[in-house]
Chains A and B, each alone.
Chain A
Amino acid sequence: DTGVSQDPRHKITKRGQNVTFRCDPISEHNRLYWYRQTLGQGPEFLTYFQNEAQLEKSRLLSDRFSAERPKGSFSTLEIQRTEQGDSAMYLCASSDNSGGDGYTFGSGTRLTVV
């Protein structure tokens, strides 16, 4: 297991286009999280999965955002009709049920909306 993988690493898209990011967590981890980070800020929580169930969504996750984790393995985050304000680093993390070892983060997907 090589940790949490995110794809793509970078994405440049035109305003109004849809984008989808993928996250492959550590295989033994039941929990998967999506965060968004803008320059100079800490990560902000977007959503969280326990296996395939999406248990919590932030108010930051507008109706243009949707996340899935089919079969409780990899997850996708889709942004529809992208806006310039969506430009950010999108981070995925996973943890076991206890969270006692902290989160393992992927390297992130940097989205630039032009």
Chain B
Amino acid sequence: SQQGEEDPQALSIQEGENATMNCSYKTSINNLQWYRQNSGRGLVHLILIRSNEREKHSGRLRVTLDTSKKSSSLLITASRAADTASYFCATDEYGNKLVFGAGTILRVKS
């Protein structure tokens, strides 16, 4: 089963614009993580935000977490063509595994 649901399913923007992806989940979590996947490849860990954190930054990435609404957002600023990929949120439900959503496909046009 998949816990998180990303929105939108697909996003197409121009290089230099910001991209925002949202994730909703259903249960209590220990942390929430975002991953990137280039076509046909494995996933790359981008950022982890703990349940007691509200916002976190890493380079051009900004993640927010609202545990009351069970939602998170990933903002990529000043996007580049190389950011074209699928982005997944994944939740750690105090268990032994991550549960992934279906992902957002981001296309950055140069």
Q: Do A and B bind each other?
A: yes
Write the residues of chain A forming the contact surface with B, with a CB cutoff of 8 angstroms: 4, 6, 31, 33, 35, 40-45, 48, 50, 55-56, 89, 91, 93, 99-108, 110
Name the prevailing secondary structure of the B interface residues.
strand
Interface string of B33-65 (1 = CB under 8 A from A): 101000011111100100000000000000000
Q: Do most interface residues of chain A lie in helix, strand or loop, or is the interface mixed?
A: strand
Q: How many A-B pairs with Cβ below 8 Å?
A: 63
Across the interface, do A40 and B102 meet the contact criterion of CB distance under 8 Å?
yes
Could you tell me which B residues sit within 8 Å of A by CB distance?
2, 4, 31, 33, 35, 40-45, 48, 88, 90, 92, 95-103
In the assembled complex, the Cα of A113 lies from the Cα of B93 at a distance in Å of 33
Known interface pairs A42-B101, A42-B103, A102-B33. Does A107 touch B96 (Cβ–Cβ under 8 Å)? Answer: no
**13 pairs of residues in contact across A and B, judged by CB atoms under 8 Å:** A35-B100, A41-B2, A41-B103, A43-B43, A44-B2, A45-B99, A50-B96, A93-B42, A93-B43, A101-B45, A104-B45, A105-B43, A105-B44
